[in-house]
Amino acid sequence: MAKKVVIDPGHGGEDPGTSANGIVEKDYTLKISEYMADRLTELGIENALTRDSDVTLDSTTRPKTAQSLFGTGSDVILVSNHINAGGGDGAEIIYALRNSDALSSKIASEFIKSGQNVRKYYQRRLPSNSSKDYYYIIRETPNNESIIVEYGFADSTGDDVNQIKNNWEELAEAVVRALADYIGVAYIPPEGAEGNYYTVKAGDTLYGIASKYGISVDELKAANNLSSNTLTIGKVLVIPQVEEPETPDENIYTVKSGDTLYSIANKYGMTVNELKALNNLTSNTLSIGQKLVVSEGNAATLDTYTVKSGDTLYSIANKYGLTVNELKSLNNLTSDLLSIGQVLNVSNSAVTPTPTNTYTVKSGDSLYSIAKQYGVTVDALKSANGKTSNLLSIGEVLVIPTTTTSTRTYIVKAGDSLWKIATNYGVSVNALKQANGLSSDLLSIGQVLVIP
């Protein structure tokens, strides 16, 4: 039985939802939902909206309306669209206790391809009855596969405001791609879309397609979440954009087959120990494609790496001679999800050890209250303790990451902006300007900025 989709534009009428930075939730959820409805119709997926105008739907009327459209069966997918609030940054997807995370994980992957970072996809239980879902739109639409999609934070200090205002169609299209893949319908890009897609034809291979677009097979597979080399005729592949090649840097050497530390060191007139010290290497093992600094003047350039389309933790770790676990540890990552534009530490020298103290959990404590007490973020607190959920136990001892007194600095490069630098370091533009005594947003290449 073909699946049908109910699209629910959150809030409406007398209930505007969240409002910040010129974003009114009820208006954007309606725009996103109407766009999705048109695109799903184009793909031949039957769908309907719970509202197509600025009307009020209360907590009783909305789920009843949703289930009146296609019924209460498990063949119905309900997508409730929302804009988040609370000062965070990134998308979130909440799925029902009765369902798996298959659809939510697909949406998360498509968001990342569209350039939006994903905070998490998860389930939430009702405190008074943990067998029930927290959100009424999921709880009161039994049997349907119901999810809530939060496209970003209206009050974000990161890039969400720009994403929502200027890229909402791309974010809506990401959900459309995920739905088409999940339902099993061939995806066709919207008319007029840029040439970032390819429809598989008879005789095509991953190698042939990758070669045509000047990318590697691994990059093509990563961009499309492919775990095998099998292709289906008619399948639409995302083609990751290829950046213009960088100007070769004589101070950086790319490891080739047959290279050894001795041969490279000898080529550049240094000892093996000098080469290892310059690149923070602890072993003599090299990887083909690994970048090595061969001049002290450029030692700082390989401390960080900016994630590009098609990157994976494995490909980045391999490039810099790290294991995936080492790369995750350097960046306090708890999942394998990456965001385009995300800046990763790829050298131990890029990370300053953080002194810590401990806290014993008491009755009534929450991660939020403890993080607030010590002036750290919830994510930092969870990362420091290897936690993947918000659950605490009375008597549990938590490691509290404390701020270091050492000053972080950043050297401005071509293409940088205050917003981009602030986003990479998780600070606000105003805090960055204040820390550097800036009265305008103008930057100069080579300028050294203090990171608060």
Do 42 and 67 lie in one domain? The reply is yes
Q: What is the pLDDT of residues 270-305, one digit of tens each?
A: 778 778 777 777 777 777 667 787 765 444 445 677
Q: Which of 315, 349, 383 is the last residue of a domain?
A: 349
Q: What is the mean pLDDT of residues 171-200?
A: 82
Do 138 and 58 lie in one domain? The reply is yes
**CA distance linking residue 40 with residue 60, whole number of Å:** 27
Residue 246 in any domain: the answer is no
Do 21 and 84 lie in one domain? The reply is yes
Residue 244 in any domain: the answer is no
Do 145 and 26 lie in one domain? The reply is yes
Do 153 and 202 lie in one domain? The reply is no
Do 31 and 174 lie in one domain? The reply is yes
Residue 273 in any domain: the answer is yes
Do 139 and 48 lie in one domain? The reply is yes
Could you tell me the CATH number of the domain that includes residue 201? 3.10.350.10
Say which residue, 10 or 423, is predicted with more confidence: 10
Do 38 and 141 lie in one domain? The reply is yes
Do 312 and 374 lie in one domain? The reply is no
Residue 280 in any domain: the answer is yes
Q: What are the residues whose beta carbons fall under 8 Å from the beta carbon of 449, sequence distance 6 or more?
A: 409, 410, 411, 412, 421, 432, 435, 436, 443
Q: What is the DSSP letter of 12?
A: B
Q: What are the residues whose beta carbons fall under 8 Å from the beta carbon of 388, sequence distance 6 or more?
A: 334, 382
Residue 154 in any domain: the answer is yes
Among 52, 106, 57, 56, CA closest to 77: 106
Q: What is the mean pLDDT of residues 352-365?
A: 64
Q: What are the residues whose beta carbons fall under 8 Å from the beta carbon of 75, sequence distance 6 or more?
A: 1, 2, 3, 4
The domain tally of the chain equals 5
Tokens of 217: 């097979």
Query: Which residue range forms the structural domain that includes residue 360?
Result: 356-401
Burial (CB count <10 Å: 0-12, 13-18, 19+), residue 142: middle
Q: What is the pLDDT of residues 146-158, one digit of tens each?
A: 999 999 999 998 8
Do 268 and 290 lie in one domain? The reply is yes
> Residue 89: how many CB atoms within 10 A of its CB?
20
> Residue 434: how many CB atoms within 10 A of its CB?
11
CA 54 → CA 50, 51, 85, 395, distances in Å?
11, 8, 21, 50
Residue 20 in any domain: the answer is yes
Q: What is the pLDDT of residues 249-272, one digit of tens each?
A: 567 788 776 778 888 887 887 778
CA 73 → CA 77, 143, 146, 373, distances in Å?
9, 6, 11, 47
Paired with 408 in beta bridges are 451
Range with the lowest mean pLDDT among 181-190, 207-216, 298-307? 298-307
